[in-house]
């Protein structure tokens, strides 16, 4: 399987709030100021204060990148990888990601890891992918922490190592990442890399479920059905299966209907009302 990217081009300066900086950027860029060259590239990329123009963005990112600007190097890698303003060229993407990655730019390290994992612009290498994911993960980059957790958990791209999976899931989970919270819940539920502990599993499933993570919502329905780490409750199982079903989980929809039959009309009405409140609360915080 291939890892997908979360592409984000960060704007370091909000020009609309500081008019003088907005006005001076083109002049300073022409004078060779790296940060201004990068920011002018961002302006052209986003169409911020100027017409959107990927070719102009490439021009100014290149000028900054050639002077060692890591944000610009990352931006060039991204644009070559997507074919924005230039023909798509994975080798050029790798070239610029590597330049930024070798200077410690976390998102470039992550992207370089993806290129190695997918064999885009380089010879496919799981070892190199893990190397670059790890470099960015130790800087606290949660996407890489989750990917490492999944790789060590499943044994896809790295030797299966549940303790390493727990380590990386936990780091991302502690930063509030729902995917990692769900993964960590699974490790506790199955006793992989940690002693089996259903209460801890429920804790992390709930954290992810309350962020709208449908698989954790479904798993909460299961633990309530079976009384694992919680007091067995058909009503609570109905509630979480109902929420997961609304979010498109087919198995949860079947379970919801099964548990609906086990509840009295009054209890079912209460469960439906509570499910609706929880669902609304989850979606109000997204």
pLDDT tens digits for range 189-243? 999 999 999 999 999 999 999 999 999 999 999 999 999 999 999 999 999 999 9
Tokens of 244: 């997961």
pLDDT surpasses 90 at 86: yes
Name the band, by pLDDT with cuts 50, 70 and 90, for residue 143.
very high
Give 193-198 contacts, CB < 8 A, sequence gap 24+: 193/161, 193/162, 193/163, 193/164, 193/165, 193/166, 194/162, 194/166, 197/229, 198/223, 198/228, 198/229, 198/230
Integer Rg of the chain from CA: 24
Give the pLDDT of residue 20. 43
Tokens of 43: 């302006």
Q: Do domains 19-136 and 140-209 have the same CATH topology?
A: yes
pLDDT surpasses 70 at 13: no
pLDDT surpasses 50 at 162: yes
Measured distance CA(177)–CA(207) in Å, rounded: 9
Name the band, by pLDDT with cuts 50, 70 and 90, for residue 6.
very low
Q: Work out the widest C-alpha separation in the chain, in whole angstroms.
A: 76
Domain boundaries, the chain: 19-136, 140-209, 213-286
Measured distance CA(63)–CA(254) in Å, rounded: 58
Please give the CATH architecture assigned to the domain spanning 140-209. Answer: Alpha Horseshoe (1.25)
**Contact call for residues 215 and 186 (beta carbons, < 8 A):** no
CATH class for domain 19-136?
mainly alpha
Please state whether 191 falls in left (phi above 0), alpha (psi between -120 and 50) or beta: left
Measured distance CA(46)–CA(264) in Å, rounded: 56
Name the band, by pLDDT with cuts 50, 70 and 90, for residue 286.
low
Give the pLDDT of residue 24. 86
Total-model pTM: 0.88
Give the pLDDT of residue 157. 93
User: Which of 37-51, 77-91, 130-144, 162-176 has the least mean pLDDT?
Assistant: 37-51
Percent of the chain scored above 70 by pLDDT?
Answer: 92
**Arithmetic mean of pLDDT, 118-141:** 97
């Amino acid at each position: 399987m291939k890892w997908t990217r979360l592409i984000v081009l960060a704007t370091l300066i909000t020009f609309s709030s500081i008019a003088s900086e907005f006005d001076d950027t083109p002049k300073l860029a022409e004078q060779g100021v790296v940060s201004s060259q990068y920011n002018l590239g961002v302006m052209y990329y986003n169409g911020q204060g100027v017409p959107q123009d990927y070719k102009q963005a490439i021009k100014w990112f290149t000028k900054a990148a050639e002077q060692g600007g890591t944000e610009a190097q990352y931006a060039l890698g991204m644009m070559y990888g997507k074919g924005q303003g230039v023909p798509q060229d994975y080798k050029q993407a790798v070239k610029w990601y590597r330049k930024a990655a070798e200077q410690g730019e976390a998102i470039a390290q992550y992207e370089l890891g993806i290129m190695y994992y997918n064999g885009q612009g380089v010879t496919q290498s799981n070892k190199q992918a893990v190397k670059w994911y790890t470099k960015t993960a130790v800087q606290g980059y949660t996407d890489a922490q989750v990917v490492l957790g999944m790789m060590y958990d499943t044994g896809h791209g790295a030797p299966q190592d549940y303790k390493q999976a727990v380590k990386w899931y936990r780091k991302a989970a502690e930063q509030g990442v729902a995917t990692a919270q769900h993964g960590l819940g699974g490790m506790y539920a199955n006793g992989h890399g940690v002693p089996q502990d259903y209460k801890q599993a429920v804790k992390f499933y709930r954290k992810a479920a309350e962020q709208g993570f449908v698989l954790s919502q479904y798993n909460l329905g299961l633990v309530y059905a079976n009384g694992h780490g919680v007091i067995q409750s058909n009503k609570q199982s109905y509630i979480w299966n109902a929420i997961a079903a609304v979010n498109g989980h087919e198995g949860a929809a079947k379970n919801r209907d099964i548990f609906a039959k086990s509840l009295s009309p009054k209890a079912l009405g209460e469960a439906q009302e509570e499910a609706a409140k929880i669902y609304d609360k989850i979606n109000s915080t997204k």
